Structure 1
Amino acid sequence: MFGMFDGIQRRVVSLWFPRLASDRVLRQRHIDGPFALTLKQKNANRIYCLNAAATQQGLHQGMPYADARAFCPSLQSQVAQPEQDQRLLQTLRRWATRYCPWVGFEGQDGLVMDVTGSAHLFGGEAAMLADMRMRLIRTGISTQIGLADTRGAAWALAHYGEGVAPSGGALAALTSLPVAALRIDDSISVALQRLGLRSIGDLAGAARAPLTRRFGPGLLLRLDQALGTQPEEISPYADPPHYAVRMTLPEPIGLLSDVMAGAERLLVQLCAKLKTQEVGARNLCITLRRVDQGHQQVELRLASPLRDPQRILPLFERGLSEVDAGFGIDQLRLEATQVEALPVQQISHVSGGEKGKLDDLISRLGTRIGLENIQRFLPADSHIPERSFIVAPVAYSDPADSWVSTHPRPITLFPPEPIAGTGTRPPTRFRWRRMSLTTGRTTGPERIAPEWWLQDDNWHSGLRDYWRVETREGRRLWLFYTPQNPGWFVQGEFA
């Protein structure tokens, strides 16, 4: 029979936090009087959540903030942060696992718990619910609780009745509740009330066929789920995988070779976990506990995600060699503090290990000077020479496949240096950096216009006509001419 598990009737608790967002803020900063959180919705600043004092003033969720201030001039407000509210809900979910292992989310402001067989651990259902309520009140979280045989009935009681439905008595407990307690759309709820079906009892006693033809099967499915004639699962929210392994030693160790051997065993176990989840470690931390209860940590930051213990182990050697073992180390703990996706890739006979060797070298250098200090040049989307590249850390950027440029650029760029010259073509002879140079071959011009949407004092003169000039003395320079303010400048040198 549905609802039975090994002879035990299923029991479900629904926790609804009607003021989750405002309670989160008021726990940190107490405010007397009406208080509301606002959020911009549909090009209007509206009430997102409010405390009990604001509700007593006639304010409600979704109300325009300007109207709320007109009704309640003493209203204090703050901008809502939904992401912080979800973090709090995550914390509440972890807290609720003290009552049962099956805890899931119920929308954006509630939890659902399958407490079948666990209520007796807290002295019965009434004592368990009282303990929940007391602990939540102490933390400043307002809640409404419902307990029934089904998820739908528990949700209805939490939102509209706040009570306990006895085992097998879902219909009796829900009869007087409005049809909106069945988790149906507002439009369907309004339509049912127009037909005279205002309560769940009225709906349960009505003919099913006309209701199905008019509202579809979803309405009666919600009714059957609440009454327990149709199943509805409760899926617990799985905790994110924890990438950490630990080893307790029967005898303390102190030699580097022994510590490296222990680290190797931990790496094999950890990399197996990483491979199962198809991720690779970017940051690793090994904690060594000494017999005097002191702790030392060695962190390793990798240039690319890895899960190969044979490649990671040598990178730990330098850090572990500096550890003070004291009277001995009796426990090692290894944790991947940051991971990235590393899906399985098809290997072939043409794939080599050059990329892996370079990443290992960068990781070794990074342990000494910092990964952020090992940098590479990357192309940037700009035709301005000074802005055609960026400098980024090698460990946190991918190399560009190619530098696409229709015109060659000099290897060396420097601030424009003026030279003597007249006319729109490069001068035949000129002096640059105390050298007398003679123009041999020229290529150009390449006209580059300034990016008007950016402020740059170096381009205040406007257009530039760039020329590649090969001198008879062997210098290959990059010159430009400014038509608006006639003048010649050298800005780069080719190899």
Structure 2
Amino acid sequence: MTARRIVSIWFPRFPMERWMRLRKRRRAAPPPDGPLALITDGPKGPIIHDLDEAAREAGIRKGARAVDMRALCPTVHFEQADPAGDKAALEKLALWARRWCPWSIAEGGSGLLLDTTGADHLWGGEAAMLADMEARFGALGYGCRIAIAPTIGAAHAFSHYGESHTLCTDPAADLAPLPVASLRLEPDTILLLHRLGLRRIGDLMAVPRLHLTRRFSRSELVANPLLRLDQALGRTDEPLTAPDEAPPFHVQKSLAEPIVDPANHLPDLFRQLCAFLLEAGHGARRIRLTVYRTDGEIGRIEAATAAPTRDPAHMASLFRERVEQLDPGFGFDVMALEAIAAHPMKTVQSDLTAPSDDTLDLPRLIDRLTNRFGDAAIYCPLPYASHVPERARHNGSSLAKEAMAAEDKAKERPLRLLDPAEEVHVLYAVPEGPPAQFVWRRRPHRIARYQGPERIAPEWWRDRAGTRLRDYYRVEDATGRRFWLYREGLHGDGRGGEPRWFLHGLFA
């Protein structure tokens, strides 16, 4: 089993770098020379949210009141921060980071976590992968510190307090020199540990657990150094919970140079995806193409199918015209194809010795029509969960693909129903027997053969009291025409007078 590997990426100056990046993109005038700080509302007035290097050298501190920092450095220039925009940008960056692996989330307000287990070989190893991450984030204007470790706690500790590009394999030994603050504890707990003489993680590991358990057993997670230590060492599981689950069928292609047209690379991606689907015995019902742009943006298009498919040519036909919707920006260098919905699919024999199987013709026609005109433009009958035929078959659906889930019983009934059913005059041999002759629209029909009855009881949860049951017959007259008749009610059922006969449908 592959050992778990977690990458922690920390952007120490993310709000300021994002502010600079936005001004550059908008071609705004540069800020005045001198120290620069971003401010946001605090409980007692504006406080420092982030600052540049000049402000840091002038003694300005994050979290301090802006008025106090103005007194310390009168030349400082303040700009309004955008914490909500920073959070949204970081979450967007977490999606863009999936170019390296399927799982990534934003951590806090200034970092990312990636589960790269089993993905480093695609980038030439862990060291090359971390170097690629740093280079690409740097090209976007974000400086970062990166570390990889077997646990989230260890990766976070090294990215924030260790050396960048740390490749940790043994947390118990590698974490010992780091300060206890790297365990993601609250300030009061860190201060208490310092007073106890526990400044390094190694000092904490040397203390008998019983002594610390008595002191911190009832503390919350951010105030319990033992729980945080166990998470960092892998003694307690800490899953990386992404907002959306990674699709089970995923293929990706990295390009040597950015491109603007993905058409030439799509056939190979579809063949790879279909190979994975075939191996698992599944077919795709919804497919998503994602392109990762060099400017930190992503583009996505999706296509759905009426029935599970693993035909590369059919998949390619669904995307052939839609790739023009993608905005390439300055180009993209990574493409990913995912089957975000897949169902089990049987293998169908299609050689000359097998009987013809045209069951996929209708789904593919529906796919082509909906791909060109949209789901809302395609209508077809949709079976509805009801025993009463007119309720089960009168509904239509603009989602044409759902019509492929028709019940087998619907095939025994006529596709064309009369709405409403038309009353007919019937002659029959015995009171409860099949009809012998009926008159419909003033024209007599002598019945040559019949099949039935099929009894359908009223739906008590929907029909009003006194509704009578129906006995349906499939009949054929002497000329070969086929009809669907039903008798409403029985003799002596106490729900009305004599039974009545109705013609409800015509067979083709």
Measured against the shorter chain, the TM-score band is 0.3 to 0.5
Length-normalised TM-score, structure 1: 0.48
Length-normalised TM-score, structure 2: 0.47
